[in-house]
Amino acid sequence: MEALEARSAAPPVALDGSPADDDDTMLPTDHIVERPIASELTPFPELIKAIPRMERDFFRQPLDEASRRRFLLNCPRNVLRQYQAPVLNYSGVGTHTKRTDAQLADIQFRLSGLTRHIDLFAHDVLVEGSIQVTQALGFANTMHELLSDLASVVTQMRSDNICRDANLPISPIVTNSALEPKPLLDSQRIVKQAKLQRALHDAARPSRTRKGKCTGQSNRTNKPTQSVPTSATPVPSYQRSSHPHDAKKVFHSRPQLSKSQTTNTPH
């Protein structure tokens, strides 16, 4: 116990904050750094009215292709910007890598399109010297819609990848769960689809087996009967069959009997 207390005891420190020895070096006082406190925004009615779609699911609000193009074509292209993502110029990769690279390249292309609105908004502010409230809110709503569309595209890509790997139909499996954050897929629907596919697969296998059995029996029924060659070894007369057609197949040392003689031969 005394050894433990000796190890845990702090070295003596003078009242002025300096160590007890003769070293005059002062320790820095910035070891404790304050971090910014997280803040929350509670939208008030006017803000909700200004951006009405903020209450909807941000990750599941995809735009149709016509609406997305309309948002992009309303803004000019910036001649200094590069909109095309770098292309994959190496062929020694697998199919999974190529598919993933194509998805990421599509995300990069969509992100580059969002800069059109940013550039145009900055241009209008510099040219006009000021910005109207309606213009600012229009820019905010446009960016919200385009960003939500991009987030929804990523959600769909993730769902497709999981459904493809699980051999499930590639379809948007949307969950209505109230959990936060919301799950990507509805696990109950995935289990039901997996059971249904397994049942269909198992039901198809016996049908093919029965079909094969029926076909084999039909072939055996229609196949002409071939006579089995008998041995040429002489057979004693007492082992001859009583049937006329069997008597012809029996070889013995006696002369071949006629049909009538064979029938009347005593046993």
Which residue do the tokens 């709503």 mark? 141
- What phi, psi does 128 have (nearest 5°)? -85, -20
Reply yes or no on whether the pLDDT at 20 is more than 90.
no
pTM for the complete prediction?
0.62
- % the chain with pLDDT above 70: 64
State mean pLDDT over 193-210.
Answer: 74
For 13, the 3-state DSSP assignment is strand
Q: Where are the domains of the chain?
A: 43-169
Query: Residue 131 above 60 pLDDT?
Result: yes
225-249 pLDDT per residue, tens: 555 555 455 555 545 555 545 444 4
Say which DSSP state 238 is in: G
Q: Which range is most confident: 29-33, 81-85, 199-203? A: 81-85
Angle between helical axes of 65-73 and 133-165 (0-180°, round to 10): 140
How far apart are alpha carbons 155 and 172 in whole angstroms?
9
pLDDT-derived band at 219 (thresholds 50, 70, 90) equals: low
